């Protein structure tokens, strides 16, 4: 039985998945399996995966679900390892990740989840951010206890409060204990966005985290990624996910307030985006919802402005730009 299971959901991943697999096979640690669940790809993803002859690679095809949570959960159910490494089909694993993470989890049995720092790369593998978490204030402000191998233990309650403010673990930087997923459940399949953030909070509701500050994977930012779509297209999914997070904070009024403020901000951002495109009716719908949850002067300003004629708003924008020159 392998000690580690690396689970990879894949959809039309032929352009990058070879590099992803090769980066894993290059690891010094060898006691692992790779489970790739193909979520109904229509390209050559299967051909690329099947071109590898390593018997640690398991390829499974399923009908398209449209959600990364579904193939992830399928892979978890198939996994045999003590530790589950979550990884994306276009990211690159950097040397030492598996060995270091396994050792840290072995040494810290109270930790249900380990996560590492990561770099950001573009579609041509160019590094655009060498250390995503280097200046992440929410993470750095959390109390931590130094433990073995340069890692830091974060108490369960501390981790949970921090996750309310910011979803700091990068998905491909996370390793979970299999027994933890059996206890807290798998990735939420009902939401379109932030299934990972919900999962990390579910784990933090019962278990400590351990942070390894080294950069151990490269996260690829692609032009067609979900996170780059317009906020008004993503708002409903984000808000549904934030609503689900409330279940882990029912006795924490400050956390619930923070989550409501996130919802209000999401509605505002969607409303402002629509307003900027002169979609005033859509803007009003979003801005009214934002104002009901968290009444703010700027929300009211744009809400009132959305009732003005387009020509007047355009004129005022021109005047404002001219004045700022």
Helix (H) / strand (E) element for 116: namely strand 111-121
Structural contact between residues 74 and 10, judged by C-beta atoms closer than 8 angstroms: no
d(CA 276, CA 36): 42
For residue 12, what pLDDT is reported?
96
Q: Name residues whose C-beta falls within 8 Å of residue 166's C-beta, 6 or more positions apart in sequence.
A: 136, 138, 139
CA 245, CA 50: separation in Å to the nearest integer? 38
Per-residue pLDDT, 225: 52
pLDDT tens-digit profile of 242-287? 999 999 999 999 999 999 999 999 999 999 999 999 999 999 999 9
For the stretch 31-49, pLDDT in tens is: 999 999 999 999 999 999 9
Q: In what helix (H) or strand (E) does residue 37 lie, and over which residues does it extend?
A: strand 32-39
How many angstroms separate the CA atoms of 7 and 26, rounded?
A: 16
Spatial CA neighbour of 203 closest among 138, 248, 241: 248
CA-CA distance, 123 to 213, in Å (whole number)?
Answer: 25
Closest CA to 158 of 195, 110, 219: 110
Q: pLDDT tens digit string along 90-113?
A: 999 999 999 999 999 999 999 999
Q: What gap in Å lies between CA 79 and CA 72, rounded to an integer?
A: 10
- The Cα-based distances of 270 to 2, 143, 262, 277, 284 in angstroms read 46, 34, 12, 11, 10
Of the pLDDT bands very low, low, confident and very high (cuts 50, 70, 90), residue 175 is very high
Q: Are both 4-226 and 229-324 of the same fold? A: no
- The CATH class of the 4-226 domain is alpha beta
Taking alpha carbons only, the member of 281, 192, 292 closest to residue 237 is: 192
Q: Which whole number is the average pLDDT over 113-132?
A: 96
Residue burial 284-310, b: 16+ Cβ < 10 Å; e: rest: bbbbebbbebbeeeebeebbeebeeee
Alpha-carbon span 110 to 55, nearest angstrom = 32
Domain 229-324: top CATH class: mainly alpha
pLDDT of residue 64: 94
CA distances 67 to 13, 246, 300, Å, are 14, 22, 36
Q: Let me know: does 44 contact 14? Beta carbons within 8 Å.
A: yes
pLDDT at residue 210, as a whole number: 98
Render pLDDT for 290-325 as a digit per residue (tens, 0 to 9). Answer: 999 999 999 999 999 999 999 888 877 776 767 665
In eight-state DSSP terms, residue 245 is H
Model confidence at 228: pLDDT above 60 = no
Structure tokens, 124 = 């041509």
**What are the tokens at 264?**
């209000």
pLDDT of residue 61: 97
Q: Is the pTM of this model over 0.85?
A: yes
Parse the chain into domains and list their residue ranges. 4-226, 229-324
Q: Average pLDDT of 216-229?
A: 76
């Amino acid at each position: 039985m392998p000690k580690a299971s690396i689970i990879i959901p894949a959809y039309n991943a032929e352009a990058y998945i070879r590099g992803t697999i090769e980066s894993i096979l290059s690891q010094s640690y060898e006691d692992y399996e790779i489970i790739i669940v193909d979520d109904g790809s229509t390209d050559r993803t299967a051909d690329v995966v099947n071109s590898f002859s390593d018997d640690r690679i398991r390829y499974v095809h399923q009908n398209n679900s449209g959600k990364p949570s579904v193939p992830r959960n399928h892979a978890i159910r198939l996994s045999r390892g003590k530790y589950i490494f979550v990884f994306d089909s276009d990211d690159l694993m950097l040397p030492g990740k598996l060995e270091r993470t396994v050792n840290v989890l072995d040494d810290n049995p109270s930790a249900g989840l380990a996560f590492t720092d990561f770099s950001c790369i573009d579609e041509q593998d160019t590094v655009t951010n060498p250390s995503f978490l280097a200046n992440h204030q929410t993470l750095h402000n959390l109390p931590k206890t130094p433990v073995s191998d340069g890692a830091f233990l974060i108490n369960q309650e501390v981790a949970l409060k921090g996750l309310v403010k910011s979803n700091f673990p990068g998905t491909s930087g996370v390793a979970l204990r299999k027994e933890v997923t059996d206890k807290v459940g798998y990735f939420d399949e009902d939401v379109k966005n932030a299934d990972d953030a919900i999962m990390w909070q579910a784990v933090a509701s019962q278990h400590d985290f351990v942070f390894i500050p080294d950069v151990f994977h490269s996260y690829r930012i692609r032009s067609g990624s979900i996170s780059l779509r317009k906020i008004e297209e993503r708002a409903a999914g984000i808000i549904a996910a934030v609503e689900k997070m409330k279940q882990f904070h029912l006795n924490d009024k400050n956390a619930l307030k923070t989550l409501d403020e996130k919802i209000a901000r999401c509605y505002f951002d969607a409303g402002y985006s629509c307003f900027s495109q002169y979609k005033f009716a859509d803007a009003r719908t979003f801005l009214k919802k934002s104002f009901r949850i968290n009444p703010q002067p700027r929300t009211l300003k744009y809400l009132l402005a959305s009732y003005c004629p387009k020509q007047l708003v355009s004129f005022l924008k021109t005047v404002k730009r001219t004045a700022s020159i």
